[in-house]
């Protein structure tokens, strides 16, 4: 069978990839890799060139084959692709565990560190150090029985995490709400209403059919004047894949979550960590459980007063006690009342083509690159676009896909992921390629997609991740781009770039009214910028609620008592939540970041890195936000380094000192900061 996943092409042949190609390709590449690993493990006099470089190349090749499969499963999910994807998870899990538990390879790396270490360059030493750390964290030092058990735990975790995400996707796709009274849609934007009308028509229904994609959920709870509609959509969204709500019990993640927590705890204890939170911190900037908890609680103490004041003012504005599904609606109206501006009013000023143009100009000006669209590249959906990044001299730096719009069978949210990682090895070279994925409302009729400013910030955020991946100068795949970067520092570039979505000069570049062509008027721009600190306390407390919940369920797991997910969430809410939620809210059941993604015991990273990002941007504010010397230093110290340097050392190199929380609190208009560092 001619298998496009095994073709040596610069980019994946998405148009040719079929579910039946997946498992044969993965089996073939893993078989080849195992044979090569056996050869490398038998090398009599291991050196960096003889062992480490070939292993870097092997891992790069496996990633190249698996990446398009994993990506398609997220953006173009189907039953057949899901089955093929799931069939490969145990194969990949077993391969990676076997590799990292290989005692001959571990001894080879130890020998390289001992004999070649002093002569290696700093990046090469870092490659070896990270590999030795990862060998230990995979149980290379365990006895045979404990190794076998660790491998089995990792395999089961991989499958459970995939099932968690599938349950959320299925629950999201299954829900619809049929509206027959046009008055119930009052307040929603016309583009969304028209799409709902077309969807109903396709199903031979009168009226309008709402789905549970992310743009629809946000639009309804923010803008729908009909409270029963807000409640219905809120309930469907916050009870997905749970024992509550309109599909109660059908895709319930309760037992999946319990099993994930149990297995993570067992894996950590096999490696002699007290809990999974300790195990996770072995690769992060933060070093102890107490350090993270203290950081989160200090932020909570700084923000609580502002949050309580904001919520009291909101209920006074509404003139009544607010339910959770009322809060976004009245917050939007209060913001509009205070600043005479709303997200929906801003949409016509932010057509996606103009926003992209301004975003690219910002990156070009900061980092001396050029971004150009390329046509004729194989893509997975007609809406997908492809861009190249070049240096100022015209040399190719990297490329990225942009998949901007929500659609059925696509995971909600926004993310950046690796399609191809950078490498420069004796065996050959590869330039980095990224996937940038969002879930914006698609174009309607002759109009391009129109973004809210929240959408604009999301796009800047993901592009910041993309720049981290694409502008790397590290030649070894395991440390290039975001690879090897401490997870609590990986959000620094993305949150840093968000600041430019709020800057007056950039707002002029990214705004152009879809009908008149006018930039965002000065008064609207000033009002928009003033909204940045609107309800900043409430927003911060909400993120701290998620972070404390995540960290505590992993730090406090007790096999005798189980995960206590609901109990710990209730305790965290009593400690930090300001907005009350109904007893049937089951947000944890769709919390994919921690139960299906890479943020387990790591959701605190968003706030941790936000401190770094605000402090980094403060350096630009001191010299000028487009100051070339400051931008070059940020590129050289942060973006280009990947995982080749300790993130705290890299930050100090850029900033000249350790990070300070003050800039973040000042940015959001929150006073009373402790001033302690992250």
- What is the DSSP annotation of 43-70? -SS--IIIIIHHHHHHHHHHHHHHHHHH
CA distances 365 to 47, 174, 391, Å, are 42, 45, 12
Task: Retrieve residue 582's tokens.
Answer: 């109904």
Burial of 319 (0-12, 13-18, 19+ CB in 10 A): exposed
Beta-carbon neighbour count of residue 385 at 10 Å? 17
- Quote the distance between the C-alpha of residue 176 and its chain's center: 27
Beta bridge partners of 209: 178
**Contact between residue 292 and residue 551 where contact means Cβ atoms under 8 Å apart:** yes
Q: What is the H or E stretch that residue 35 is in?
A: helix 19-41
Closest CA to 14 of 79, 68, 93, 70: 68
* CA atoms of 72 and 77, how far apart (whole Å): 7
**Contact between residue 554 and residue 355 where contact means Cβ atoms under 8 Å apart:** no
Instruction: Quote the pLDDT of residue 671.
Output: 67
Burial of 339 (0-12, 13-18, 19+ CB in 10 A): middle
Phi and psi, residue 117, nearest 5°: -45, -55
Phi and psi, residue 403, nearest 5°: -115, 95
Burial annotation 52-90 (CB, 10 A radius, 16+ → b, else e): bbbbbbbbbbbbbbbbbbbbbbbbbbeeebbebbbebbe
**Contact between residue 373 and residue 356 where contact means Cβ atoms under 8 Å apart:** no
* CA atoms of 311 and 322, how far apart (whole Å): 9
Instruction: Quote the pLDDT of residue 479.
Output: 98
Q: Are strands 208-211 and 176-179 parallel, antiparallel or unpaired?
A: antiparallel
Burial of 559 (0-12, 13-18, 19+ CB in 10 A): exposed
**Whether 462 is catalytic:** yes
Instruction: Quote the pLDDT of residue 444.
Output: 87
* CA atoms of 462 and 486, how far apart (whole Å): 18
Q: Are strands 433-440 and 396-405 parallel, antiparallel or unpaired?
A: parallel
CATH of domain 4-100+102-137: 1.20.1050.40
Domain ranges of the chain: 4-100+102-137, 175-238
Beta-carbon neighbour count of residue 451 at 10 Å? 25
Q: What is the H or E stretch that residue 368 is in?
A: none
Q: Are strands 428-430 and 423-425 parallel, antiparallel or unpaired?
A: antiparallel
* CA atoms of 212 and 232, how far apart (whole Å): 11
Closest CA to 259 of 145, 157, 137: 157
Burial annotation 420-435 (CB, 10 A radius, 16+ → b, else e): bbbbebeeeebbbbbb
Burial of 277 (0-12, 13-18, 19+ CB in 10 A): buried
**Contact between residue 209 and residue 181 where contact means Cβ atoms under 8 Å apart:** no
Q: Are strands 385-391 and 396-405 parallel, antiparallel or unpaired?
A: antiparallel
Would you say the C-alpha torsion 63, 67, 70, 74 has a positive or negative sign? positive
Residues in the chain: 678
Rounded to the nearest 10°, the torsion over CA 332, 528, 340, 517 is -110
Instruction: Quote the pLDDT of residue 91.
Output: 97
**Contact between residue 29 and residue 23 where contact means Cβ atoms under 8 Å apart:** no
**Contact between residue 609 and residue 491 where contact means Cβ atoms under 8 Å apart:** yes
Q: Which H, E and C letters describe 620-668, residue by residue? A: HHHHCCCCHHHHHHHHHHCHHHCCCCCHHHHHHHHHCCCCCCHHHHHHC
Q: How many CA atoms lie within 13 A of 25 on its CB side?
A: 24
Find the catalytic residue in 418, 462, 491, 545: 462
Which residues, at least 6 apart from 448, have a Cβ–Cβ distance to it below 8 Å?
A: 351, 352, 353, 514
End-to-end CA distance of the chain: 54
Quick check: helix, strand or coil at residue 256? helix
* CA atoms of 45 and 51, how far apart (whole Å): 9
Rounded to the nearest 10°, the torsion over CA 484, 488, 492, 494 is 90
Tell the residue number behind the tokens 């504005």, with chain if given: 317
Beta bridge partners of 386: 401
Task: Retrieve residue 446's tokens.
Answer: 């002759």
Burial annotation 610-639 (CB, 10 A radius, 16+ → b, else e): bbbbbbbbbbbeeeebebeebbebbbebbb
| pLDDT profile of the chain (678 residues), mean per 10 | 92 97 98 97 96 98 98 97 97 96 97 95 97 97 97 97 97 97 96 95 97 96 98 98 98 98 98 98 96 96 95 98 98 95 94 98 98 97 98 96 96 96 96 98 91 97 98 98 96 98 97 96 95 95 98 98 97 96 97 96 97 97 97 98 96 96 88 40
Instruction: Quote the pLDDT of residue 673.
Output: 42
């Amino acid at each position: 069978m001619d298998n496009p996943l095994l073709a040596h092409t610069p980019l994946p042949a998405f148009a040719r990839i079929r579910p039946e190609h997946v498992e044969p390709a993965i089996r073939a590449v893993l078989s080849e890799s195992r044979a090569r690993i056996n050869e490398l493990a038998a090398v009599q006099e291991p050196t960096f060139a003889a062992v480490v470089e070939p292993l870097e190349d092997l891992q790069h090749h496996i990633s190249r084959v698996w990446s398009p499969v994993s990506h398609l499963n997220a953006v173009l999910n189907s039953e057949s692709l899901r089955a093929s994807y799931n069939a490969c998870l145990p194969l990949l899990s077993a391969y990676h565990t076997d590799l990292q538990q290989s005692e001959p390879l571990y001894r080879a790396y130890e020998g390289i560190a001992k004999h070649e270490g002093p002569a290696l360059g700093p990046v090469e030493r870092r490659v070896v150090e990270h590999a030795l750390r990862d060998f230990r964290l995979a149980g290379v030092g365990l006895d045979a029985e404990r190794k076998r058990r660790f491998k089995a735990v990792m395999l089961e975790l991989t499958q459970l995490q995939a099932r968690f995400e599938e349950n959320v996707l299925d629950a999201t796709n299954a829900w619809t709400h049929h509206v027959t009274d046009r008055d119930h849609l009052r307040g929603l934007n016309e583009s969304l209403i028209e799409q709902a009308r077309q969807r109903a028509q396709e199903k031979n229904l009168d009226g309008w059919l709402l789905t549970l994609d992310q743009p629809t959920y946000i639009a309804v709870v923010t803008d729908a004047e009909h409270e029963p509609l807000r409640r219905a959509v809120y309930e469907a969204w916050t009870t997905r894949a749970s024992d509550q709500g309109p599909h109660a019990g059908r895709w319930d993640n309760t037992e999946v979550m319990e099993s994930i927590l149990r297995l993570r705890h067992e894996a950590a204890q096999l490696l002699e960590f007290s809990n999974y939170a300790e195990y996770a911190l072995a690769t992060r900037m933060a070093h102890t459980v107490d350090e993270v908890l203290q950081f989160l609680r200090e932020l909570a103490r700084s923000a609580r007063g502002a949050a309580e004041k904001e919520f009291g003012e909101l209920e006074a504005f509404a003139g009544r006690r607010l339910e959770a599904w009322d809060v976004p609606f009245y917050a939007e109206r209060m913001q509009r009342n205070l600043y005479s501006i709303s997200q929906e009013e801003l949409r016509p000023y932010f057509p996606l083509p103009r926003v992209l143009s301004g975003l690219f100009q910002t990156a070009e000006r900061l980092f001396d690159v050029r971004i150009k669209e390329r046509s004729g590249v194989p893509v997975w959906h007609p809406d997908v676009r492809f861009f190249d990044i070049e240096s100022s001299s015209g040399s190719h730096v990297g490329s990225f896909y942009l998949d901007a719009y929500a659609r059925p069978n696509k995971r909600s949210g926004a993310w950046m992921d690796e399609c191809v990682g950078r490498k420069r090895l004796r065996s050959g070279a590869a330039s980095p390629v990224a996937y940038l994925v969002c879930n914006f409302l698609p174009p309607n009729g002759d109009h391009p997609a129109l973004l809210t400013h929240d959408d604009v910030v999301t796009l800047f955020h993901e592009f910041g991740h993309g720049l981290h991946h694409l502008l790397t100068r590290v030649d070894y795949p395991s440390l290039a781009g975001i690879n090897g970067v401490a997870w609590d520092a990986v959000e620094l570039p993305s949150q840093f770039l968000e600041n430019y979505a709020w800057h007056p000069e950039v707002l002029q570049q990214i705004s152009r009214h879809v009908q008149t062509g006018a930039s965002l008027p000065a008064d609207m721009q000033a009002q928009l910028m003033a909204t940045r600190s609107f309800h900043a306390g409430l927003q911060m407390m909400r993120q701290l609620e998620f972070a404390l919940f995540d960290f505590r369920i992993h730090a406090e797991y007790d096999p005798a008592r189980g995960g206590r997910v609901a109990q710990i969430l209730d305790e965290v809410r009593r400690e930090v939540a300001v907005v009350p939620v109904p007893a049937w809210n089951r947000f944890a059941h769709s919390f994919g970041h921690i139960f299906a993604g890479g943020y387990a015991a790591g959701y605190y990273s968003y706030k941790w890195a936000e401190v770094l990002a605000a402090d980094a941007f403060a350096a630009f504010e001191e010299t000028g936000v487009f100051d070339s010397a400051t931008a070059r230093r940020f590129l050289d110290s942060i973006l280009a380094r990947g995982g080749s340097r300790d993130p705290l050392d890299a930050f100090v190199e850029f900033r000249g000192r350790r990070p300070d929380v003050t800039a973040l609190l000042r940015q959001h208009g929150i006073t009373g900061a402790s001033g302690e560092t992250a």
